[in-house]
Every structure is written in C-alpha cells, then in structure tokens.
Chain A
Amino acid sequence: MCSGRVDLEFVLRAFSNGMDGVFIGGCRLNECNYDTQGNYDALNMVLLSKKIMEHIGLNPERLRIEFISSGEGNLFAEVMSDFGKKVKELGPLGKGEGIDQVELTSKLQEIRKLVPYIKLAKRDKLAMRLGKQEEYDTLFTRDEIDSLFNEVVSYYIDPGKCQACTICAQRCPVDAIISAKKQIHVVDQEKCIKCGNCFEACPSKFGAVTKISGEPVPPPLPEGERAIG
C-alpha cells in the first residue's frame, strides 16, 4: 500500500469523526521504491482536500503531508512534534475556526457524499505530476472549488420522456435508479453519486435523463403514478 492509496474519503472521514489533525507520510518525491510515484497522487489529493477544507471554513493546516525516507527518523520525529504543536495551537476542530459544531458536521457529511463527484470532476488534475513547489498552491484554486460545489450537477429523469427501458438502471453503478418494466424510472438522489452514466446510457431517441446544474431537482413522481400506458 502506497501513500497514494489514501483516499479523499479517508481524510474527510477522519475530520468528520472529530479528528483535529490528519497527517499523511509518504516516501520522498522521486524516490519511489516501485514504478508508481504514488506520493504525487497523495500530494494532489492533499492539495485538493486543503481547498475543500478552506471551502468549509476549516484551517487547511490541520492536514499535512510530508515526504520522508525511512532513514530520516530524526526528521520524522521533528515533523510530528511540530505538527502536534500546530494542531494544539489550532484548538479543537471547528471551535478553533469558530464554526458551529452542527453546521460543521452537516457540511462535512454533505461533502463526503460528493466524493465520487469530486473525484470524477477533478480526475485529470488529481493525476498530475507537479514539478515545483510553486505549482502546489495553484493546482486547485478556491474559486474553482467554490464553483465546483455551487454548481453541483444532478441527474433527473423526465417522466414525460422516460420509456421505462431499464437501460439507465442497468448501467447505474450504485443502483440509484428505481426502475421496473412499464414503470417510469426515478433517480434516488440520496444514493446517486452523479457519475452521469445514466445520462450517457439513455437512448438519444428518448433523451429522458437531464443534467441539472446549480438548481433544485424537481420532486420525483409519487410511487402510485409511475405506471406507463
């Protein structure tokens, strides 16, 4: 397991659990023992997480990644002591930032539900190899992350167009489409991870799946009214 295995969800989950700080340790950059240079992936994930933390109002210094070789025990000890000190200074999560506990919890919950969407939307940037330290700050920007969350997409099946063919439901990776033969299909917005597979799958002659951005999703048809014909 490489530091690049650390998932965005792991970091958010730790904060969600009330951890005051999260530290990720990886090998030194460009000194990968294998082929992967996965520590760069870990770095990108951390840079993204930091911007997300800023978006929620959390101090990004609560998350730290360091690249240390196994021969640098002293450096590791130094870094850990320093980080421990820093986190103590920042105080308990949320309190230090002056965010209401309930609000913080719900914000983190909301963001965690969007992890698949974030991974998809930022797929290319997450796979980049940053060369210089100067690039770290600009890989993801605050505006970019703010707009990512302000313009979250949703997928909605237009009851007037759906032909109940079940193709979208078969392609949904998370079984978020309530479907049956001769029953108008409905996207379960709670389960949906916004991958857009249904949008792609719906035959163009029907065009029943719509992509909605930054607007509320119309309520689903009541269960009793979904029969076709």
Chain B
Amino acid sequence: MREEYRYGEFANVVTSMDYERLMCATGPYEGEILRVSDKKHPHKIAWVSCVGSRQVIPGGNSYCSGVCCTYSQKQVILTKDHNPEAHCTIFHNDIRSHGKDFERYYERTANLPGVEFIRSYVTIVREIPETKNVVIRYSTPDGVKEEEFDMVVLSVGLNPPADNVDMADKFGIELNSHGFSKTVVSNPLETTRPGIFVSGSFRGPTDIPDSVFSASGAGSQCGELLDYRRGNLTKERIYPVEKDVSQEEPRIGVFVCHCGANISRVVDIPSTVEYSLSLPNVVYATNQLFSCATNSAQEITDIAKEKGLNRVVLAACSPRTLEPLFRDTLREAGLNQYYLEMSNIREHCSWVHSKEKDEATIKAKELIRMSVARANHLEPLQEFDLPVNKTALVVGGGIAGMTSALSIANQGHEVHLVEKDTDLGGMARKIHYTLEGLDVQEYLGDIIRKVYQHPSIHVYTNASITEASGYVGNFVTKVKSEIGLLEVKHGATIIATGAEVYKPTEYLYGEDDRVMTHLELEEQIANREEKLINSESLVMIQCVGCRNEDRNYCSRICCSESVKNALKLKEINPQMDIYILFRDMRTYGYNENYYREAASKDVKFIRYEPQDKPQVEAVVEEGRPVLRVTVTDIILDKKLELDADYLALAAAIIPAEDRKGVAGLFKVSLGVDGFFKEAHVKLRPVEFGADGVYLCGIAHYPKLIAETVSQAYGAAGRALTLLSHETVVASGSVCEVNEKKCIGCGACISACSYGALEFHDTRHGKKVGINPVLCKGDGLCNAKCPTGAIALKHFTDEGLMSQIDAAVQGL
C-alpha cells in the first residue's frame, strides 16, 4: 500500500480486512469494534474508497475491484448495528452498486441516521498526538475541508494472488497485464491452455455470487471433457446402522449456538442452557460457539452417543440452510435424521430483537420450550428414492440458454431448447461487439450452428409452453411450436428467458428520430450509418428508466455499453464531440480501463444529480437543427448547453413481459424488481427454491455477455449434479392415511394438487389411499380432514399443537 495512506504509521488507520476482523466474533476483541490505540469504541469513522483500485500509479491497480463499495456499506450497516450513535462517512468517487439488489442496499445505508456519502478524493493528513485521531482533507463544493475521525478504514481492492506467476508457470497458462489469469475472449472460464479452466477471482475481481456460479460453470466444462469417466471414483458414504429408539422414552439434548456473537451478543446463552435443562425430557444441554463448525457437529454426534440422546434440539439459525447438515450429524450418531428439531433463535430472535436483550432471552427460551415440546412427538421417518429423467428442458434460446444447453448436451444428455422467437439468439442479436473486442454476431452464429448441429439438442422456435407439471427429476412440460403440441418429459429445467430494453418516454424518445437507445446506437454504428458517423456531436444520457422510484435498481451494463459505443465512434470519427451524462460511472472490473481510455480520447463525462436531470429540446441553431441538452455542471456550478446531432439514452434493462407466466408455470419466484429470484444470492445463485429448476442470464439480472456465459455454464453444472444421478431422494415428510378414521368425504382429494390421493373401495366403504411419491408434504389435506384420518408426517397435529400449548406455559 502506498505510504500516503499512513497505514502502519497511524494506529487508527486500518484496512477494510482489518475492520472485518474487528467486527468478527472470533476477532481480536470478540466482535467489539475497538480502536487499537486505546481500546475505546470509535464514534466517528471514515471509509476511504478505491484504495489501490482505479489508480494508474505505482502501487495501484488500474481496474475497479467492484466489491468495495458494497462491502463498505455492509461495514457501515454492521457498525451502526453495533453502535447506533456511530457517525459513518464514506468518501468515494462513484458509488458502484451494480449488483443485484445493491442499489436498494446503497439506499438503505445512505438513509441511516449519521451516515454520509461524500464524493471526493481524500488525503490523510496527520494524526493528533494526544487522541490518535486521524485528520482527513477532502474537497467540498465550498472548498477544501479538514476533519478529524476516530478511525479511518481503507477500502482496499483485490490483487492477483501472490503466487500468480508461479502458478501460471506450473499450469502453463498466461496471465493478463494485471497479473490475473488470462481467459479466452469467447469463454470467460477457459484459460489460454485448453483443458484448464478458471473460476472465481483469479479471473479478476469477482463478487461472491459470480465466484460461486463460475465455479459450477468451470465444473460443468470439466464435466464435458470427463463425462466418459463419470462416477469411476465415487464412493458411497456409509452411515452407522440406525438404532430403533421409537420405544424409548424421549431423551432430548439441547444445543444452544452462539453463532459467533450473532446470537450471544443479544441472548443470554448460559441462562438459556440452564433453562433448557429444566424442560421435560431434556437430559442434556450445552452451548456451542458455532454449531455448524465441523468440530461442533462432531461434538453433537459424540454427545448423542455418550448420553444416549434420542432427540436433538438445535437452538441456532433457520433450518432453511443448515437442517441438512444437522440431520447428517444425527445419522452419524446412529439416529434417524427426523429426530432433529431446530429452534430458530437467530433470525426469529437475536437478529430482530438486538435492542431488547432481556426480552430476546425470554423469547429464545420460549422458542426452545416449543421446540422441546415438539421434539417429544418426533418420529423416525424413511426417505425414498425417485428416479431421475436424464433429459433437460431449457427455456429461452439466447446466449444463456444455448450455452447451458450445449454444456448439458456435451455431457451426454438430451436437451429440449424452447425459444419464443423465430430465431435463436435473444438480446445478443442486437449486440455487435464487446469492449474486449469480441465479434458478437460471429460468436452468436457459431453457437447457433453448434446448437443446431448437436444431435442431442432439440430446438423449438416460435414456441410457447402451455402447461408444466411434475417435480424434480420428473417434470412434464407441454411445448407448442411450429411442429405442433409436444409433451416433453425431463428431469431438470433451466429458465433463461432473458429480459427487455426499456422503451423511454423521456428525452424526446419516440418523438424525434435523432433520439435513440444505446442498443439502437450500437446498431447504427455497426451499420456505419453515414449521418451518424459523420455527425459533429453526440450526447449520451445514463440511467434512463432505472435507479428511480419505478425501478429501484441499476441496470449494470449501461455504463460499459455507453463507453463501448463512445470508443467505437471515436475510432471511426476522432473529431466527434461525445458527452456522457452520468450519475455514477459504474464501469466495474477491467471495464474501468476503457472508461479511462474514453476520457483520454476526449469523451467528456459530466455528472448530473437525479433531482436535476438534463433537459432536451429540439432547436435550430444557426440553420443547423440540433438537440439542445441542458445540464448542470456540478463542478463548475453552471448550466451547460450541449448542441447534439444525436442523443443516445442508456435505457434500463427491464424484466421480460412474460416473466409472470413463466414464473407461474414453473412455480418459481420473482424478486421485487421483477427479475427471477434465485434460491439464495450467495449459496445457491443459479438455483430456484423449487428443486430441479435453474436460472441463468439476464432473466436473473442484467449482465454482460461474459457474465452470462459464465452463469449459463454454472446453471448447466448445477443441473448436471441432478441429471448425473440415477435417483433423487424425496423427503420422508409425506402424508399417511389412517383408514379406520377415513369417512370418505374427499375433502383431502380436492385439496391435493399433485394427485397423490385417490379413493378406493373397502368393506367399510370408500376410503382414501396415498401415493407417497407424489406427495410434496404441504399438508393441506391434513388441515382439511375433519376426522384426523390423514396426517402429514413430521408436522403432525400432535407435534404442532404441543408447540402451541408450550408457547403459553409461563417461564
């Protein structure tokens, strides 16, 4: 790090990584944010953005690290959570919240009391000897100002790994000028040496979701090469024999997790453990720092064996993420996995009641009491295997859908590819080149050819989906196309239905032919339209139709798109005056270099504020008809009038019109902005909540072609983990019928949308029978049954009612 940051010199100047450690429960002060100099809580903290990034000076990187803006905001939010009185200032030079839901996150941070974003370069001036406070100098509209902070956090960017050169040598791959792995222009996961793939940040600065799906994607490409050897080295996991404890009295063990400090900061853990011991049938209770850590899971297994536990209650987090892990822990102890009950004292308690510690402790005890009550009623259940249909259905024939389809088909699976348009290609048909110089049409033509030539890919164009049913491993979808109505049976589904471009209603778009969108501009450039390329002046306006109330997100690609078009125009006609009117330039990653190149080629970047948008009018100036764009130059603090021959609007990428229909058919959800919603942003970025359905491309969120390709391979990789298996395990929590109690009223049958229930005749009249394979465990039938003849296993009336009763038994 450059000396001017005074890191290592001033005690209270720390890096963002140091600060992560300070906030961490396992950090130097057990999660307390303290100053190194005097171990006191800092109240006034400054974050300095772009440390080591976006700098063309020794010791800096020219690219934008892409992650620091948002992680700094995360640190601010956590700081405010620790200390609501804290005053946090973020010094930045463009806030880059180009990730999914990041714009809202930015807004949330900015709206916190005592949080300030200041757009300015800063100088760390001096340390106050008595207090060890740090003085920062920065510029304001009223001139240069100096301000004292208790602590300064340097938001440092990402560097290539230290041993990059050595690694590149060993593997025989090339590095790029920044020291990261070089990748093939047409394949962001392939190195310069065939057969060696790369994922995550070794390709350049990458955030977590991108790292995760690029890893799946690299895996899928390895799979394409290794498919003929699939399964040769796999070993089945052997669990201890399951003990039959169903006849034993319940012996319940309660494990209360600190979750680092996530729970223990709020909930009094020792008193909670003590309370747990007082509950009926609880024979053991203890606390754990992180129950999910390998050693803690082992401890649960060991204690369960040692103490003869036959039920385990985990008071920790939501079962949504870790239930499978803890179930596994029980299996290791020779217990049926359904003897586990999780009590969510984190999301349902400590996280939402961080300010009411005493009440939160009471609530944690109540939640545990309810869980223990239910644990008494848990029964051992058996899971069963369902066969997996090895075929995949890919909905959407753009780059995302085609890339996924090819990767899956190359691993020996049949793929049905459904495209609503007459031709394959999607949004990419409107794109001609990328910043890196990829000829998109040539690339697209190549993939389309590969898709059509692939013997395992069946393409349906002008197609629509009329009906979709079934479940993971066994879907049935009806596809209507030129060749008629076809029923496709498939095990996995990939949704790659793309997005659309916003049709602006502002800035004279649609009224004046000289006003166009960035994609229309690209089209004209590609066609070398004479009038355009010979024009004197062109203005681009960024953020048209998004980052506003209607669409509170950033379309991610438009800054790069405008820079790309500007550079192309400058290449063709260096004399042209080009202005880009922006709010924040979000040329993240390597694209920062192109932003810099554009500025050096005299493309003029003028920032505007959302409350003072540019004004456009068509006028005739000295006989020349022009579009007059009036914008306030914030730095000069005066109105500028730019007379342009053309105006290009960076129109938002908006969710596809048919998204709701698609979401309804495949039972997947949409996020607040209308893009498809993944199961988990970081842990499951290309999967849906509905099993066996995957997601990629701009249906998920706007992204550049390279990112789309990487995600498409990722979705293929995840689909392969399903398709490569013969069977998929179905939950044991399904319904069962007590025939004696059934009166044949049929209320359950009409409630079941899976057709799992049917009447049959018996000596005592019509009775309902169940096909457990079809049951998905929603339990609607159970609630409808008047006699209690049908029961959802694991969520039985007895179990749930015992929880309701336990809720009120006083402490």
Contacts and interface: CB of A to CB of B under 8 A. Distances in A.
Contact of B667 (A32, A41, A69, A117): A32
Contact of B764 (A1, A126, A170): A170
A55 interface: no
Interface stretch (B257-265, B280-288, B494-502, B736-744): B736-744
Interface of B: 352, 469, 663-664, 667-672, 677, 689-690, 733, 740-743, 745, 747, 750-751, 753-754, 764-765, 776-780, 782-789, 792, 795, 797, 800-801, 804-805, 807-808
A1 B785 contact: no
B291 to A, nearest CB: 23
B778 A1 contact: yes
A164 to B, nearest CB: 18
Nearest to A195: B743
B672 A71 contact: yes
A119 interface: yes
28 contacts: A1-B792, A5-B780, A5-B783, A7-B782, A7-B800, A13-B801, A13-B805, A17-B808, A33-B669, A36-B753, A36-B778, A41-B784, A45-B783, A77-B352, A116-B786, A116-B787, A116-B788, A120-B745, A120-B747, A123-B747, A123-B786, A126-B784, A127-B751, A127-B784, A171-B743, A193-B786, A195-B743, A195-B786
Task: Please indicate which of the listed interface residues B469, B786, B792 has the most CB atoms of chain A within 10 Å of its own CB.
Answer: B786
B331 to A, nearest CB: 22
Contact of B797 (A9, A77, A123): A9
Given A41-B783, A119-B785, 18 more contacts: A2-B779, A4-B751, A5-B778, A5-B779, A7-B797, A10-B800, A13-B801, A31-B663, A36-B780, A38-B780, A77-B352, A117-B786, A120-B745, A173-B740, A173-B787, A193-B786, A195-B786, A195-B787
**Interface SS, B side:** loop
Contacts of A195: 743, 745, 786-787
B82 to A, nearest CB: 20
Contact of B804 (A14, A116, A126): A14
A83 B667 CA distance: 30
B777 to A, nearest CB: 7
Q: Which 10 A-B pairs have the closest CB atoms?
A: A5-B779, A2-B778, A116-B786, A119-B786, A35-B753, A173-B741, A173-B787, A4-B780, A17-B808, A120-B786
Contacts of B797: 7, 9
A119 to B, nearest CB: 4
A38 B752 CA distance: 9
Given A9-B797, A173-B741, A30 B664 contact: yes
Contacts of A4: 751, 778-780, 783
A61 B27 CA distance: 47
Interface string A83-125: 0000000000000000000000000000000011101100100
B804 A119 contact: no
A174 interface: yes
Given A1-B777, A127-B750, A173-B741, A193 B787 contact: yes
A123 B784 contact: yes
Contacts of A8: 783
Contacts of A210: none
B295 to A, nearest CB: 31
Contacts, number: 127
Interface residues of A, number: 46
Nearest to B779: A5
Contacts of A14: 804, 807
B777 A17 contact: no
B789 A173 contact: yes
A4 B753 CA distance: 13
A41 B766 CA distance: 25
Interface in A193-207: 193, 195, 197, 200-201
A43 B173 CA distance: 60
A9 B189 CA distance: 56
B103 to A, nearest CB: 14
B668 A33 contact: yes
A228 interface: no
Contacts of A32: 667
Given A1-B778, A127-B747, A7 B804 contact: no
B751 A19 contact: no
Given A17-B805, A123-B747, A38 B765 contact: no
Contact of A17 (B740, B751, B807): B807
Contacts of B743: 171, 173, 195, 197
A126 B785 CA distance: 11
Contacts of A34: 667, 690, 753, 776, 778
Nearest to A1: B795
A37 interface: yes
B469 to A, nearest CB: 7
A47 to B, nearest CB: 14
B677 A33 contact: no
B76 to A, nearest CB: 18
A22 B559 CA distance: 49
A215 interface: no
Contacts of B750: 127
A56 interface: no
Contact of A13 (B664, B690, B778, B804): B804
Given A35-B754, A71-B677, A7 B783 contact: yes
A69 B669 contact: yes
Contacts of B690: 33-34
A57 interface: no
Contacts of A1: 733, 777-779, 792, 795
Nearest to B740: A173
A162 B805 CA distance: 42
A100 B795 CA distance: 35
Contacts of A201: 765
B808 A5 contact: no
Contacts of A45: 783
A171 B764 CA distance: 6
A105 B743 CA distance: 30
A18 B795 CA distance: 23
A35 B779 contact: no
Contacts of A117: 786
Nearest to B750: A127
Given A1-B778, A71-B672, A33 B783 contact: no
A143 interface: no
A6 interface: yes
B352 to A, nearest CB: 7
A135 interface: no
A6 B801 CA distance: 10
Given A18-B808, A31-B663, A119-B747, A171 B787 contact: no
Contacts of B753: 34-37
A137 B800 CA distance: 29
Contacts of A173: 740-743, 787, 789
A71 B779 contact: no
A225 interface: no
Contacts of A35: 469, 667, 753-754, 776
Contacts of A37: 753
Contacts of B787: 116, 173-174, 193, 195
